[in-house]
Amino acid sequence: MSGRLLLALSVAGAAITGTAAALVLFAHGFQPYPPAASLAQVATDGIWITAGLIAWRCRPGNRVGPLMTALGVVDLARQLYWDSGLAFAVAQIVTSFSIPIAVHLFLAFPSGRLATRFDRAYVASVYTAALLLAPVGQLVDDPRGPVCPRCPDNPLLVEGLRAAAAPLQTAVAAVLATVLLVTTGLLVRRVRRASGPARRTLAPVLISSAVAVGLLLAVGVMSATGRRVEESPVLLIADAAFAAIPVAFLLGLLSTRLHRSAVADLVVELGTMPGPAVLRDAVARTLRDPSLRLAFWLPEGERYVDADGYPVEVRAGTGRAVTVLDHDDERLAALIHDASLLQEPGLVRAVGAAASLALENARLQAELRAQLDEVRASRTRIIEAGYAERRRLERDLHDGAQQRLLGVRLALRLARSRLGGATEVDELLAEADAEVVDALDELRALARGIHPAILAEGLQAALAAIARRSPVPVQLNVCGDRLSGPVEATVYFVAAEALANIAKHAHATYARIDITRADGWLRVAVSDDGVGGADPDGAGLRGLRDRVEALDGRLRVETPPPGGTRITAAIPCA
Amino acid sequence: MRVILADDAVVVREGLARLLTDQGVEVVAQAGTAEELVRLVAMDPPDVAVIDIRMPPGYTDEGLRAAREIRERVPGVGTIVLSQYIDVEYALGLVTGTSARVGYLLKDRIADVAEFVAALHRVADGGTVVEPSLVEELLAAPAARDPLAVLTGREREVLALIAQGKTDHGISEELYITRKTVEAHVRSILAKLELPADANENRRVHAALAFLRAVGARWPSR
């Protein structure tokens, strides 16, 4: 809001107040109260009206402004004692509505809406009570009396009902006390349930109100004990406290305007096109809601995901509310935020608008991650299926062909022993046995290539076995943890292929296998002291790379400074 | 010599049974599963049970566990476990908590029937038999911290032969040294490995087990 508009509204408020003050002072009617007290109350009403107009202008969609203005106007009616008895009576009735308006205002602050059905029903009943009791009161209430000897005649007064005046006043007092208690109770409950930001907004209003009500009660006590309260300074202080309440209301609303300037900062911050996580933090900061969650809409999957692509359930809960952010009629994302932010729908929308481009960008990133997760999951399933299939194949070979060939060897051996010694047939049988032994060796190598059965005993035993078969001495440093089948098989094949390469090409005198596990990664390093020069794009190493990367791992082939070759595979393992 | 054979492959079981019968070994029963084996052994204890490691239902180390169970329940029965491949853990698992009447051989060894029958006899007589290629490879394997480093080269050779189940006589023939020298080496080995030097048979078993444990110690247990 511009300074000029603020000035204009202030002038308008002051003009209304000044007019009212003039009417109080110079009206050729009467003066029920001392001028000082009346002027103080008029000034208070003026502040209500001015603050209300400013609030109205700042937040046109918010009822807080109109309610504040109405409260000032209605209360002002009390100060204006018209010559006409009818006007006086009507002013009395109008003034009675300051109670329901005040209740409405307190319960609706700062959103301008009544949050619960109970709140709405309660406020409606207070309005109804005023509507019923105020006119009825004018039927029985004779303003003239010791308090106001110069008050005009009440034309609505029904003489026959005079007797009802005292009980009615008692009833009105009871209703007022009830309203005060219930309203206080509702506000206390609201403060207790409110989150941090909501409490900060409510605090100034509630504190100034508590002070004012406290002072008013003191005035009531003084009045009941027979003192003349009209001239007491306590009344003036109470008026001052009441004057502070509209200021507190306005400050509460202005503080939400401060949030809006944070939107400008957000726009600048989002110029750098941050990732989804940074975007969430920036939005949370702007809305002053650290618990805020950002869910990105995936149009294809028709679901929400978080910054990492994981599905998110988007629904309002206790103290939580959901605001869906759109851009060009397309759903972009949803904010799951503190329910108190609902009181500032404009702010949330402004943040959404400011963030829309970055949101679109972040949404695409989140979508990409979600798709990547799906691809990873399906790849893992394929790998595990392949692993299971290999194990089955190896078992079939072991339990079928290998056992049969061993049976053949036993039969050959039996035949030779039955033949009893060195004959030509025995030689033939011995040759046949040698063939079977070769076939068994080949079959065993084949089975091992498909799936090393010794892996059932763990990586340690399996690697010890290949280390023993290696012509180059191998030192093993293996952590003893059991890992998933595919990971163990992959590590085994990395070590086996690397050792085979070392035996064939490296001219090494020494090799070592180091397996460590840290930070969710399994690292296997096979190094030698040979001539180096391994070709990372050779068929063997490429096959290894595929195996390792299929598990989301990385394979590196390097020639460290002193010489030799080092093959390192890092595989994630939870 | 009475033996029970346990192998889920009928062709191997039957072949071995016929082969052993031909060699004068009495095959009193055959089992296709570890469960059946334990039951048969308990009913009519043989001298030795020959057990394939991989058997139903899991095809992992059922035979090994059956061997352990037999040793606990029917202590006089020797067990020879057959494996498709060498595994230090298997070998250690077999000798853990025992001092004798155990054997660990590659399954292919059964085709070498004379050697196999000799192994059966050694186990039946209270000795141990360890797959020779396992012993060789363990000795050949380089190790950063070798618990057998205290031994001389010749002592290590002698110990390896003991572990394979060779007698003093066999060792003296193998290494072309006198039996007295063999005995001296054995005494030195036991002293260096801080093993109790009691009765002769036990000592040999101790040495074999010490060897397995020592080399096994290079492979930290999982």
Residue entry with tokens 């029985």: A140
B23 at interface of A, judged by CB pairs closer than 8 A: yes
Query: Residue B91 falls within a domain, yes or no?
Result: yes
The residue among A403, A446, A509, A517 with the most chain B CBs within 10 A of its CB, best to mutate, is: A403
Shared domain check, B110 and B29 = yes
Distance CA A43, CA A180 (A): 24
Shared domain check, B153 and B69 = no
* Cβ separation A457–B89 shorter than 8 A: yes
Residue entry with tokens 């390097």: A558
Of B117, B93, B99, whose CA–CA distance to B20 is shortest? B117
Query: Residue B68 falls within a domain, yes or no?
Result: yes
Shared domain check, B79 and B161 = no
A407 at interface of B, judged by CB pairs closer than 8 A: yes
B61-104 pLDDT tens trace: 888 889 989 988 888 899 999 988 776 666 666 665 555 788 88
Residue of A nearest to B136 (CA): A468
Domain final position from B72, B99, B130: B130
- Domain ranges in chain A are 3-195, 274-372, 457-572
* Cβ separation A437–B142 shorter than 8 A: no
B222 at interface of A, judged by CB pairs closer than 8 A: yes
B96-127 pLDDT tens trace: 555 578 888 888 889 888 889 999 998 898 88
Shared domain check, B120 and B158 = no
Q: What is the CATH number of the domain that holds B183?
A: 1.10.10.10
Contacts of A418 in chain B (CB under 8 A): 22
Residue of B nearest to A482 (CA): B222
Q: Which residues 48-77 of chain B have a CB within 8 Å of chain A?
A: 54, 59-61
Tokens representing B201 are 């048979």
Distant-in-sequence, close-in-space partners of B154: CB < 8 Å, separation ≥ 6: B175, B185
Distance CA A54, CA B218 (A): 85
The residue among B20, B89, B136 with the most chain A CBs within 10 A of its CB, best to mutate, is: B89
Tokens representing A402 are 């290998």
A485 at interface of B, judged by CB pairs closer than 8 A: no
Determine the pLDDT at residue A474: 87
- Containing B64, the helix (H) or strand (E) segment is helix B62-73
Pick B207 or A302 by higher pLDDT.
Answer: A302
Of A344, A349, A347, A350, whose CA–CA distance to A111 is shortest? A344
Distance CA A10, CA A4 (A): 10
For residues A564 and A529, is the Cβ–Cβ distance under 8 A? yes
**Does the pLDDT at position B148 exceed 80?**
no
Determine the pLDDT at residue A465: 79
Confidence of residue B6 (pLDDT cuts 50, 70, 90): very high
Determine the pLDDT at residue A14: 76
- Containing A136, the helix (H) or strand (E) segment is helix A117-140
Average pLDDT, chain B: 80
**Does the pLDDT at position B26 exceed 50?**
yes
Domain holding B154, by residue range, is 136-216
Determine the pLDDT at residue A23: 65
Tokens representing B74 are 């029917």
* CA-based nearest distance A535→chain B, Å: 28
For residues A320 and A334, is the Cβ–Cβ distance under 8 A? no
Of A210, A206, A235, whose CA–CA distance to A223 is shortest? A235
Shared domain check, B184 and B159 = yes
Architecture of domain A457-572 in this structure: 2-Layer Sandwich (3.30)
* CA-based nearest distance B222→chain A, Å: 5
Shared domain check, B108 and B84 = yes
Determine the pLDDT at residue B216: 53
* Cβ separation B15–A417 shorter than 8 A: no
Residue entry with tokens 């008050």: A151
Shared domain check, B209 and B162 = yes
Q: In what order do the strands lie in the sheet with B26-31?
A: B26-31, B2-6, B48-52, B78-83, B102-106, B128-130
Q: Where do runs of H (alpha helix) occur along A141-195? A: 165-193
* Cβ separation A399–B85 shorter than 8 A: no
For residues A451 and A491, is the Cβ–Cβ distance under 8 A? no
What phi-psi label fits residue A9: left (phi over 0), alpha (psi between -120 and 50 degrees) or beta? alpha
What phi-psi label fits residue A520: left (phi over 0), alpha (psi between -120 and 50 degrees) or beta? left
> Hey, which residues does A521 pair with through a beta bridge?
A518, A572
Domain final position from B77, B102, B130: B130
Confidence of residue B140 (pLDDT cuts 50, 70, 90): low
Contacts of B18 in chain A (CB under 8 A): 410, 414
Of B172, B188, B190, B191, whose CA–CA distance to B180 is shortest? B172
Determine the pLDDT at residue A570: 93
Shared domain check, B202 and B177 = yes
* Cβ separation B89–A461 shorter than 8 A: yes
Confidence of residue B220 (pLDDT cuts 50, 70, 90): very low
Distance CA B151, CA B145 (A): 13
A471 at interface of B, judged by CB pairs closer than 8 A: no
- Which among A453, A473, A475 is the nearest to B85, CB-wise? A453
Query: Residue B222 falls within a domain, yes or no?
Result: no
Determine the pLDDT at residue A392: 87
Q: Which residues 176-215 of chain A have a CB within 8 Å of chain B?
A: none
Residue entry with tokens 């059965």: A453
Query: What is the distance, to the nearest Å, from the Cα of residue B186 to the centroid of all Cα atoms in its chain?
Result: 19
Contacts of B59 in chain A (CB under 8 A): 395, 398-399
> Hey, which residues does A294 pair with through a beta bridge?
A335
Domain final position from B130, B160, B183: B130
- For chain A, list residues with pLDDT below 70: 1-6, 20-37, 60-61, 80-83, 142-152, 195-197, 228-232, 256-264, 271-274, 343
- Containing A333, the helix (H) or strand (E) segment is strand A330-338
- Count of domains observed in chain B: 2
Shared domain check, B104 and B145 = no
Shared domain check, B7 and B90 = yes
Full 3-state SS string of B161-221 = HHHCCCCHHHHHHHHCCCHHHHHHHHHHHHHHCCCCCCCHHHHHHHHHHHHHHHHHCCCCC
* Cβ separation B22–A454 shorter than 8 A: no
**Does the pLDDT at position B31 exceed 90?**
yes
Determine the pLDDT at residue A140: 75
- Which among A403, A409, A465 is the nearest to B9, CB-wise? A403
Residue of B nearest to A413 (CA): B111
Distant-in-sequence, close-in-space partners of A67: CB < 8 Å, separation ≥ 6: A52, A101, A104, A105, A108, A112
The residue among A451, A457, A476, A516 with the most chain B CBs within 10 A of its CB, best to mutate, is: A457
User: How many CB atoms sit inside 10 A of residue A287's CB?
Assistant: 24
Q: Where do runs of H (alpha helix) occur along A398-521? A: 403-419, 424-450, 459-469, 485-501
For residue A20, give the amino acid letter. Answer: A
* CA-based nearest distance A454→chain B, Å: 7
Q: What is the CATH number of the domain that holds B86?
A: 3.40.50.2300
Shared domain check, B120 and B11 = yes
Shared domain check, B56 and B6 = yes
Full DSSP string of A74-92: HHHHHH---SSHHHHHHHH
Instruction: Tell how many helices (H) and how many strands (E) occur in chain A.
Output: 16, 10
Determine the pLDDT at residue A409: 93
Share of chain B above pLDDT 70, in %: 75
Rg (chain B; Cα; Å): 17
Sign of CA dihedral A256, A259, A261, A264: negative
